[in-house]
Structure 1
Amino acid sequence: MSPPLPSLASLKNKTILQVVPEMATGGVERTTVEVASAIIEAGGRALVFSAGGRLVHELEALGAEHIFGEANSKNPWTVFVANVAKLAQIIEREKVDVVHARSRAPAWSALLAARRTKTPFVTTYHGIYNAKSGLKRWYNSVMARGDRVIANSGYTRDHVLAEHKINPTKIEVIYRGVDVDAFERQAVSDKRREELASQWGIPLESALPRAILPARLTAWKGQKVMLEALGILKRAGVEMDCLMVGDPQGRDVYRAELGQDIRRLGLEGYVHLVGHCNDMPAAFSLADFAVTPSTEPEAFGRTAAEAQAMGLPVIASDLGGARETVEDGVTGFLSPAGDGKALADCIGRLLALSPAETATMGAAGAMRVRSRFTTRSLQSATVSLYQRLVEP
């Protein structure tokens, strides 16, 4: 039984402006939509300033208002002059009560506009931004300059405090949320599963154990580490399927390298590079467990949480936010990052569990997500933060 949904604080007659580069598909954009929905439910008015994208229609269908602008520009004139003026005008015209920025370049514009208009300013530190120079550290620091700073995990919070030395009382951990109603195995129809399996050219039910690696195709997401692990297992006589679900996003060279590795390791027919997927609950329902073998720290680890919500055990890299989303030995396993042999060993441990033990692990993961990482929890905490800023 799921815990009761948290209630929302009142934002009656309050206007919240979220500023993001664009409304394409991604974690930042999805969170923007989720928070806009909560603002409206709480009685407020939700505005979003961005360069547009496929999620604008969904945003407007909720009753939010989208304002088009060059929020995705990194041109210094646009960032520090033109967008500042445009945002200040929007804040004054629409009587905005809180400005919330979710990415660095538009955050500079939003910060300056908020200071010019004396409007409370919030940032969300969504990722672990690399800083190899003083200039880059200064550029990143805008995400720690909010009157309140939201960190999407305890790991991110510790990074912000170490990197930017801000007052700890300004920062609040609000975990990324999972839509647990959507990521519920019982909510996925047989038709959705069949259509997706047919689209990918795979059997609905695999005769072999089937893993899913849900991540865009980029080196640090660890696809090559997974292939190394699968090669080790195959040489040891352990065969299994693997669905690599993710958009190459133009990285055709990297995708070709993965294809070469698949052939070199004799994994043709076992590993499926299926590309982008618009129905991730159905994708997870086709697998027995998930693997997120990132070689760099994830700020949170949304896909690991989504997989657990579906009742899948998860093997994740032992670093970053994954240490908070996956409980080692309880909801899955944590494996040393970048180590194909260690990952193969973890997969072997998981495959050695009895069906009852695997089911218990999956159920523990689902319970953990529903108690800690729901969309509703994110919405409630964010609306509460807004309410405290506008009605101290």
Structure 2
Amino acid sequence: MPRPTILQIVPELHTGGAERTAVDVAARIAAEGWRAIVLADGGRLVEELIATGAEYRRFPAKTKNPLKLWRNVGALAEIVEAEGVDIIHARSRAPAWSALLAARRTGRPFVTTYHGAYNQKSRLKGAYNSVMARGDVVIANSEYTADLIRARHPFASGRIVTIHRGTDFGAFAAPDRPARAERLRQAWGIGADKKVILQLARLTGWKGQTVVIDALAELAARDDWVAVLAGDAQGREAYLSELKSRIVANGLDGRVLLPGHCDDVPAAMALADVVVVASTEPEAFGRAAVEAQAAGKPLVVSDLGAVQETVVAPPDVDEGDRTGWKVPAGDPTALAAALDATLDLDPSARAALAARAKAHVERSFSLAAMTERTIAVYRSLIE
């Protein structure tokens, strides 16, 4: 078989599950000896992508303007023909419409990955979202997502393949991770005597930063913690201002930090004493929950979406099998109680929890398994 060329398209290469997965899959395509091309409109992950051996092409993939999307169809079809692309793989809705039409125009197989539990409160939004279910193969990043696709877009039922998001576990065992964590502690101005409560999520309402702040207000009597809500506001200045005001109003100034985007997730996880995923809407996968377990950290999550697959907790299992804590979404009192419990874990309980959590995610959510299954999808379409 001639060397296949796989083209992925994503709006930008900043932080996020779609972007991270595009880079990880491109790396595996290149390692396979195939040709990987990624189209995107810039982003902080571009250099990492190029270092994998993949090719990056700047493309106006983040536009949602209908006229520009239509123009992108022709531009994308030209790239497909000129570069001998064998498969087009779309990872976001707006560029997926251009990619779908370009695939039909050029006769190439079309793959989509349904990365999110996209808002669908109207028939028009449902039609817009439906492009992600129109692939020759539709990859769901969890069983939760697969069920969501079947419910929303029954026509896709026979073409759905579940491939859980994969994590690079080696990054959470690097020998220099403690030193990098200490540099983060110093950069964030956190005293060595403080326990660290960590949330890693872009600053947007449904990620639940306001719920975390309200929960922390209930823990204010404890003086042994500092909380870090690390994430990029991505232009949401009004929301960032709201968070800052809420911190001050709750008397948490200096105890709840908003340092912006964190490039070194393994180091941040190493620094943490407990990790929070406080989403108020379902996570289609929830990468941070898996990464926290890979790092062996106590974890508190909202009981929504794919956490049923990624986090093990009573009453579904015995207490001795727990890998994290699940609390009702949007409930700061329940979140505060779970945080209080995790902060008080003794060293032996922490060690046992860490061992269970690492074993759980390594069995089910490895980067190697995800990329291997994705390559298998590509092979099924070109062999």
Provide structure 2 residue ranges, at least 5 long, that are not aligned to the other structure. 315-321
Contact 1:47–1:65 (8 Å) recurs in 2: yes
Question: How far apart, in 1, do the equivalents of 2:213 and 2:45 lie?
Answer: 33
2:219 matched residue in structure 1:
233
1:323 matched residue in structure 2:
308
Q: Which moved more, 1:262-271 or 1:157-166?
A: 262-271
What SS class does the counterpart of residue 125 from structure 2 fall into?
helix
Answering whether residue 45 of structure 2 is matched by residue 74 of structure 1, we say no
Identity %: 50
Question: How far apart, in 2, do the equivalents of 1:253 and 1:92 lie?
Answer: 44
Question: How far apart, in 2, do the equivalents of 1:238 and 1:341 lie?
Answer: 18
Contact 2:294–2:357 (8 Å) recurs in 1: yes
Contact 2:166–2:365 (8 Å) recurs in 1: yes
User: For the structure 1 residues 245 and 183, does the alpha-carbon distance in structure 2 shift closer, same or farther, using more than 3 Å as the test?
Assistant: same
Answering whether residue 254 of structure 2 is matched by residue 264 of structure 1, we say no
Question: RCO greater where, 1 or 2, for CA within 8 Å and sep 6 or more?
Answer: 1
2:4 matched residue in structure 1:
14
* Structure 1 residue 135: Cα displacement: 1.6
1:283 matched residue in structure 2:
268
Instruction: Give the letter aligned to residue 321 of structure 1.
Output: A
Instruction: Give the letter aligned to residue 233 of structure 1.
Output: L
1:62 matched residue in structure 2:
52
* Structure 1 residue 17: Cα displacement: 0.9
1:171 matched residue in structure 2:
160
Deviations 1:296-324 (A, max 9, x none): 11111111111111110210000011222
Question: How far apart, in 1, do the equivalents of 2:4 and 2:45 lie?
Answer: 23
Q: Which moved more, 1:158-167 or 1:321-330?
A: 321-330
User: For the structure 1 residues 12 and 202, does the alpha-carbon distance in structure 2 shift closer, same or farther, using more than 3 Å as the test?
Assistant: farther
1:142 matched residue in structure 2:
131
Contact 1:19–1:102 (8 Å) recurs in 2: yes
What SS class does the counterpart of residue 282 from structure 2 fall into?
coil
* Structure 1 residue 258: Cα displacement: 2.2
Question: How far apart, in 2, do the equivalents of 1:12 and 1:380 lie?
Answer: 19
Question: How far apart, in 1, do the equivalents of 2:346 and 2:181 lie?
Answer: 25
TM-score (norm: length of structure 1): 0.91
Question: How far apart, in 2, do the equivalents of 1:283 and 1:309 lie?
Answer: 13
* Structure 1 residue 67: Cα displacement: 2.4
* Structure 1 residue 25: Cα displacement: 3.1
Provide structure 1 residue ranges, at least 5 long, that are not aligned to the other structure. 1-10
Question: How far apart, in 1, do the equivalents of 2:44 and 2:250 lie?
Answer: 38
Deviations 1:75-116 (A, max 9, x none): 212212x21112222222222111101111111111111112
Question: How far apart, in 1, do the equivalents of 2:182 and 2:341 lie?
Answer: 30
Contact 1:216–1:249 (8 Å) recurs in 2: yes
Contact 2:138–2:156 (8 Å) recurs in 1: no
Instruction: Give the letter aligned to residue 206 of structure 1.
Output: D
Q: Which runs of 4+ in 1 moved over 6 A?
A: none
What SS class does the counterpart of residue 245 from structure 2 fall into?
helix
User: For the structure 1 residues 189 and 141, does the alpha-carbon distance in structure 2 shift closer, same or farther, using more than 3 Å as the test?
Assistant: closer
2:365 corresponds, among 352, 360, 373, to 373
Q: Which moved more, 1:11-20 or 1:274-283?
A: 11-20
Answering whether residue 327 of structure 2 is matched by residue 338 of structure 1, we say no
Question: How far apart, in 1, do the equivalents of 2:179 and 2:45 lie?
Answer: 25
1:53 matched residue in structure 2:
43
What SS class does the counterpart of residue 242 from structure 2 fall into?
helix
2:382 matched residue in structure 1:
390
Instruction: Give the letter aligned to residue 193 of structure 2.
Output: S
Question: How far apart, in 1, do the equivalents of 2:25 and 2:17 lie?
Answer: 12
2:318 matched residue in structure 1:
none
* Structure 1 residue 382: Cα displacement: 0.4
CA RMSD in angstroms comes to 1.8
Answering whether residue 195 of structure 2 is matched by residue 215 of structure 1, we say no
Instruction: Give the letter aligned to residue 184 of structure 2.
Output: L
Q: Which moved more, 1:321-330 or 1:298-307?
A: 321-330
Deviations 1:98-142 (A, max 9, x none): 110111111111111111221111000011111222221111100
Instruction: Give the letter aligned to residue 213 of structure 2.
Output: L
1:250 matched residue in structure 2:
235
1:301 matched residue in structure 2:
286
Question: How far apart, in 2, do the equivalents of 1:325 and 1:171 lie?
Answer: 20
User: For the structure 1 residues 138 and 189, does the alpha-carbon distance in structure 2 shift closer, same or farther, using more than 3 Å as the test?
Assistant: closer
Answering whether residue 185 of structure 2 is matched by residue 197 of structure 1, we say yes
Question: How far apart, in 2, do the equivalents of 1:117 and 1:261 lie?
Answer: 53
2:172 matched residue in structure 1:
183
User: For the structure 1 residues 137 and 243, does the alpha-carbon distance in structure 2 shift closer, same or farther, using more than 3 Å as the test?
Assistant: same
Contact 2:193–2:224 (8 Å) recurs in 1: no
* Structure-to-structure mapping, 1:342-357, within 5 angstroms: 342-357=334-349
Instruction: Give the letter aligned to residue 302 of structure 2.
Output: S
